[in-house]
Amino acid sequence: MPNSAEILQQKFANSFGLPFQTVLPESVIAEVLEAEEISYRNRIFNPFVTIWAFLSQVLDADKSNRNAVSRVIAWLAGTGQQVPSDNTGGYTQAKQRLPEGIFKRLFEHTAQQLEQQVPEVQLWCGRQVKLLDGSNVSMPDTDANQKAYPQHSNQKAGCGFPLAKLVVMFSLATGAAIGVLIDPFKVSELELARRLYASLEPGDVALADRAYGTYVDLACVIAQGADAVFRCHQGRLSDFRRGKRLGKDDHLVTWNKPPKPPKHMSAQAFAQLPEFITVRQIRFQVVQPGYRTKTIIVVTTLLDAKTRCSSF
């Protein structure tokens, strides 16, 4: 998947003109503009051209506005239309006129279209697998960004960049991001992830690292009618002598509900979670020449060790 992403990025970056015109056609953008109730005048940098140019600008090694305008000029020249000047003012103003809601809708539409095109043979046992992971990003040091995404509290005012916390949900089948939440840096990654679980559909399988391998996260996934495959949280002791043995380093155990909810979860939401859940733990070793052998413990709500589609 990483190699495919790099190939696509190079393909778009090395293309002349506006290659996103074929990937994101005018008809799709028009639907989004109508949904957002946005009217526009027929000018060179209309919403269609501006979006195509902006997406190319993001992927291009040269991310300057001048280079983006050059792409528009090349595209217009190739279609036999009147070529404007290389002044970037019109393009800059056009970008500022685009509301954030447009990109959110285009993001969701693209992800849904890709999901619908995936043949069943590429799914895991006919089920969608969705990966979750979080990260931190810094942004330009503007007053608006500092207000919405304050810099780290350890830094003196004016000495740090605005920071944001984001959690993204990816499709294993397509590699596309299908959900994203962004909040200030101080917001917990797990808080964002637990809000993203609401977008899981019955039958989905959520896959994530050990930060997510907690009772609350597993219970939230189960509540969506989905299953979870997480690495077991480092704070939980795992005793494979207990529980129902399914095989070597494979057993079922019961996890009880913690006495208190997480700080970000309301008492009402926490009360709706079950008093206990049954989970399956699998332990295995990763052997790599020249490195220490790693012991990995996976916790999952896929409990049937005999059915091929739920075994590891």
Residue 56 lies in a domain: yes
Provide the residue type at 49 as one letter. V
Mean pLDDT value of segment 12-35: 80
Question: Is the pLDDT reported for residue 4 higher than 60?
Answer: no
Question: Is the pLDDT reported for residue 79 higher than 90?
Answer: no
Mean pLDDT value of segment 273-285: 96
Residue with tokens 């608006």: 144
Mean pLDDT value of segment 77-105: 84
Per-residue pLDDT, 77: 82
The whole-angstrom separation of Cα 231 and Cα 300 is: 8
The helix (run of H) or strand (run of E) holding residue 57 is helix 47-59
Same domain, 269 and 305: yes
Phi, psi of 42 (to 5 degrees): -80, 90
Residue 191 lies in a domain: yes
Question: Is the pLDDT reported for residue 40 higher than 90?
Answer: no
Question: Is the pLDDT reported for residue 263 higher than 80?
Answer: yes
Give me the domain span that covers residue 262: 118-310
Of the ranges 50-59, 224-233, 255-264, 277-286, which one carries the lowest mean pLDDT score? 50-59
Strand-pairing partners, residue 286, are 294
pLDDT, tens digit, for every residue of 134-176? 999 998 888 888 888 998 877 777 778 899 999 999 999 888 8
Residue 113 lies in a domain: no
Per-residue pLDDT, 299: 97
Domain end call among 47, 69, 104? 104
Per-residue pLDDT, 213: 94
Residue 298 lies in a domain: yes
Same domain, 261 and 146: yes
Same domain, 99 and 122: no
The whole-angstrom separation of Cα 269 and Cα 261 is: 9
Same domain, 178 and 306: yes
Q: Domain tally for the chain?
A: 2
Mean pLDDT value of segment 179-203: 94
Per-residue pLDDT, 188: 92
Provide the residue type at 57 as one letter. Q
Same domain, 233 and 141: yes
Same domain, 171 and 31: no
Question: Is the pLDDT reported for residue 229 higher than 90?
Answer: yes
Per-residue pLDDT, 1: 46
Mean pLDDT value of segment 49-74: 88
Question: Is the pLDDT reported for residue 12 higher than 60?
Answer: no
pLDDT, tens digit, for every residue of 96-143? 988 888 988 898 888 888 888 888 888 998 899 999 999 999 988 888
Of the ranges 1-15, 97-111, 229-243, 259-273, which one carries the lowest mean pLDDT score? 1-15
Per-residue pLDDT, 5: 55
Mean pLDDT value of segment 174-179: 88
Residue 110 lies in a domain: no
Same domain, 154 and 46: no
Residue 96 lies in a domain: yes
Per-residue pLDDT, 112: 85
- CA 187, 189, 191: angle at the middle one, nearest 5? 70
Same domain, 275 and 135: yes
The whole-angstrom separation of Cα 94 and Cα 116 is: 32
How high does pLDDT run on average in the chain? Answer: 87
Domain end call among 53, 69, 104? 104
Same domain, 71 and 143: no
Question: Is the pLDDT reported for residue 2 higher than 50?
Answer: no
Residue 78 lies in a domain: yes
Residue 111 lies in a domain: no
Domain end call among 42, 73, 104? 104
The Cβ-side half-sphere exposure at 89, using a 13 Å CA radius, reads 2
- Strands 227-231 and 205-208 turn out to be parallel
Same domain, 262 and 191: yes
Question: Is the pLDDT reported for residue 56 higher than 60?
Answer: yes
Per-residue pLDDT, 153: 77
Question: Is the pLDDT reported for residue 230 higher than 90?
Answer: yes
Same domain, 94 and 125: no
The residues, any chain, with a CB within 8 Å of residue 193's CB and separated by 6 or more, are 132, 134, 167, 208, 212, 217
Question: Is the pLDDT reported for residue 261 higher than 90?
Answer: yes
Same domain, 56 and 188: no
The whole-angstrom separation of Cα 81 and Cα 46 is: 15
